[in-house]
Structure 1
Amino acid sequence: MPLLRLKKNEERRLRSGHLWIFSNEVDTAQTPLKGFTAGDLAVVENARGEALGTAYVNPDSLIAARILSRDPRKSINTAFFRKRLERALALREWAYGKPHYRLVFGESDGLPGLIIDRFGDVFAVQTNTAGMEKLQALIIEALDALFSPRAVVIRNTSSLRALEGLADDTRVVIGTLSDPIEIEENGARFRIDPLQGQKTGWFFDHRDNRAALTRWCPGKRVLDLFAYTGAWGLPAALAGAESVECVDASAPALELAADNARLNGVAERMRFTGADVFDFLRQAREERHHYDVIVLDPPAFIKRKKDVAKGLEAYRRLNQAALQVLAPGGLLVSASCSFHLSRDSLHDLLRASARHLDRHLVFVGRGGQAADHPVHPAIPETDYLKAFFCQAGPSL
């Protein structure tokens, strides 16, 4: 296996537990990156020639290599992936009673660049790096051997792939899949579409936050913004909300949300509105509509560092608009999946938004990722999700 040598003292991040090697950390005089093709495997060593592990390399990426194993002699084959899948599976089976979860969460499960969601006997696979793309056949073999799945779907549509020079790719590689499938979360049933839905068709990361919402919903008027297929709104209705309005710009997503409401017997208390969320909130304010509970779970407004200023403004506008239609003493759940928006920044944004509107705001809960999205203590990028449960009353 070829060698990838680091510059002097550049192994410190790896020693601390991180799995990434940046291009400026490579000793290109000793091991030129141009000598690799995207996805090649290599043994990583420090400037003294001490082996640090096995990695895959992408010479055209800012992240030049990602560690797959600390063992420089490790064979990266089907057996390797099966062992990693078994290890990931043990955690999920410990945490959850039903086989609906994120089975593999990239670096946190020792498989950088790989995402696998499990929907019973259907699996959705994302390979977001050139290295994992090159190893995809081995991953599918390991999945097939371990689970004998009814279907495996490749959902390679992440924007991260463009950074690795990869094209989008959506197809079924094992079995057949033509119709939406059913999953269960926190006692609610959902029909989802792994082939055509956003990302892999479902967002498991907010599972615990959605469960935490239900205590606040009995007898309340609930507004679920960026509702997608009703992942927040449906549990609210099942918990006894007086009414739930789900707002999303996607008509197909709302059709699935309505199907899910009927599936769970709560359709008579749910309403589905196709609209731009900012436009909807403006009209609701003008018509003096108010809600007791509002959920804000928008897409990532900050995908890159250079988007921070623009994204912060979007989050500010959104939260202020929501507070303007929140009934006095009501609950706002404000969430963000943007890694580049820190918890402290969202905290400060909510505080400032409340003061701007002369509202007395307190935090009654905080949330993060569910257990199937474990956070790696040495890799801050794995800790991206945050949610604040805020009560906003009139000014003191």
Structure 2
Amino acid sequence: MACKFYLYKGMGRKAENGHPWIYTTEIEGYDGTYENGDIVEVYNFKGSFIGKGYVNDVSKITIRMMTRDIDEEIDENFFRKRLYNAWEYRKKIIDTSSCRFLFGEADFIPGLIIDKYEDYYVIQSLALGIDRYKDIIVKILQEDFAAKGVYERSDVKVRKLEGMEQTKGFLTDSFDTIVQITENGVKYNVDIENGQKTGFFLDQKENRHAIHRICKNADVLDCFTHTGSFALNAGIAGAKSVLGLDISQLAVDEATRNAELNGISDVVKFECHNAFDVLHQWVKEGRKYDVVILDPPAFTKSRSTINSAVRGYKEINLRGLKMVKPGGFLVTCSCSHFMNPELFKETIADAAKDARRMLRQVEFRTQSSDHPILWNSDESYYLKFYIFQVV
């Protein structure tokens, strides 16, 4: 018999409307016994069933909901059905040669990320409850989705909030963890063992393609280039020249190799710089580009650091705007959930005012559609992406 949790009066309305998390502060009590990681049932203060999910009282997110059907068992068939649904969705909406195969709560398996790089899969477990099912997930990926190998990248700090250790390694027989993928006609060598996130930033796939039409015959500056993805897309699209900047020499070296892989090293170059410092210097020198791309890391990962993040986003956009030729284009992004769309918009507007430039919006986009935004879970919405003409 599953342990039953009951919520305080006035609590749980978001959960009843589809939000997948139950917080510690919402729980009045429970009947029965449980171990962390167990599947438990959740009821509102009236005793009406809300759903079932796995529990972890170490985490502020005490219960993560898996199903709203009291009779649905959380077993191998459950995970097979969820994975099939995720795959069928992606086959309809995106190139699936490499993509996010499963996006946690937005695909109704909380705490689990699965990324697909050609025939190899990387999984990331962000919650204690899902760790119990890793063997089942790997089995399904091999048997039903022809996975040649599966690697775990659960080496993320958020696991500490769940009372879990960071971990990474092979979940199948070992294989070469440098996997070559092709996206938007651009080839990349993806390091799934040591690369950022699970090896690559798949969430910008469609946004990278969106810059192609503005980069033809353009001089392009790509800041925070990481392994060069926006810069390489600009080069493939027919840019006259592309310079990518990153503070990490390792990233610059990898980006340079990716340029060589695509045969565009004569056009696409990379240099190791702190973008904040060097843009300040280059503005003074009067350097100008047809297209400036700003894709910084998340300046904030919590509500407590939003103010400093706003200052960071304003400063980098101010400097970027000053380097765009009249009639040129600014591409600017924020990948922080806590930098909400309205605040990001206001921050860019403030930067434009101080730079004495006018912005004409060409396009606003979010994360690629293999990272779906679940309206019942606003945490699934994090990426904001603008293209502006600067006049």
Smaller-chain TM-score bracket: over 0.9
Which runs of 5 or more residues in structure 2 are unaligned? none
Look up the SS of the partner of 1:244 in the other structure. strand
The residue type paired with residue 46 of structure 2 is R
* Structure 1, 142-151 or 227-236: larger mean CA deviation: 142-151
Q: Distance in 2 between matches of 1:11 and 1:326?
A: 49
Partner of 2:209: 211
Asked if the contact 2:94/2:369 (under 8 Å) is kept, the reply is: no
CA distance in 1, matches of 2:345, 2:44: 41
Query: Is the Cα contact below 8 Å between 1:219 and 1:240 reproduced in 2?
Result: yes
Cα deviations across residues 308-362 of structure 1 (Å, max 9, x unaligned)? 1111111111111212222222211110011111111111111111111211222
Partner of 2:287: 289
User: What is the CA–CA distance in structure 2 between the aligned matches of 1:264 and 1:98, rounded to whole Å?
Assistant: 21
State the partner residue of 1:6: 7
Aligned to 2:277: 279
The alpha carbon displacement at 1:74 in A equals 2.2
- Name the counterpart of 1:172: 170
Structure 1 position 15, deviation (Å): 2.2
Provide the residue aligned with 2:25 in structure 1: 24
Q: Distance in 2 between matches of 1:17 and 1:167?
A: 30
Gaps of 5+ in 1: none
1:385 has 2:386 as partner:
no
Partner of residue 43 from structure 1, selected from 38, 41, 44:
41
1:314 to 308, 312, 315: 312
CA contact (8 A) 1:153 1:174 kept: yes
TM-score by length of 1: 0.94
Measured on the aligned residues, the alpha-carbon RMSD in Å equals 1.6
Q: Detail structure 1 runs of 4+ shifted over 3 Å in the superposition.
A: none
Kindly report which structure 2 residues correspond to 1:57-206, keeping only aligned pairs within 5 A, or say none: 57-206=55-204
Contact kept? 2:177, 2:192, Cα under 8 Å: no
Does the 8 A contact of 1:7 with 1:26 survive in 2? yes
Which amino acid letter does the alignment assign opposite residue 277 of structure 1? Answer: A
- Distance (whole Å) between structure 2 residues aligned to residue 128 and residue 98 of structure 1: 24
**For the Cα contact (< 8 Å) 2:8–2:28, is it kept in 1?**
yes
Distance in 2 (alpha carbons) for counterparts of 1:331 and 1:276: 22
Q: 1:36 to 1:321 in 2, by over 3 A?
A: farther
**Which AA in structure 1 matches 2:72?**
K
Letter in 1 for 2:279: L
Structure 1 position 49, deviation (Å): 2.6
The one-character-per-residue Cα deviations of 1:267-321 (angstroms, maximum 9, x if unpaired) are 1101111121112212322332211111111111110000111111111111112
> Structure 1 CA distance, aligned partners of 2:212 and 2:135?
42
1:30-54 deviation digits (Å, cap 9, x = unpaired): 449xx64432211112223332221
Is structure 2 residue 360 aligned with structure 1 residue 362? yes
Alpha carbons of 1:15 and 1:214: their partners in 2 closer, same or farther (altered >3 Å)? Answer: same
Distance in 2 (alpha carbons) for counterparts of 1:254 and 1:377? 37
Larger deviation: 281-290 or 167-176?
281-290
> Counterparts of 1:374 and 1:97 in 2: how far apart (Å)?
14
Deviation at 1:179, TM superposition (A): 4.4
Q: What one-letter code is carried by the residue in structure 2 that aligns with 1:256?
A: E
Partner of 1:240: 238
Query: Match for 1:114: what amino acid?
Result: L
Number of the residue aligned with 1:325: 323
Contact 2:301 2:336 (8 Å CA) reproduced: yes
Deviation at 1:19, TM superposition (A): 1.0
**CA–CA distance in 2 between the matches of 1:143 and 1:278?**
43
Identity %: 34
Q: Deviations over 1:52-103 (max 9, x none)?
A: 2210111122111111011223222222111111100001111234421000
Please list the CA deviations of residues 172-197 of structure 1 after superposition, one character each: whole Å capped at 9, or x if unmatched. Answer: 11132334111111122111101010
The answer as to 2:250 corresponding to 1:255 is no
CA contact (8 A) 1:150 1:175 kept: no
Determine the C-alpha separation between the residues in 1 that align with 2:31 and 2:21.
17
Letter in 2 for 1:242: K
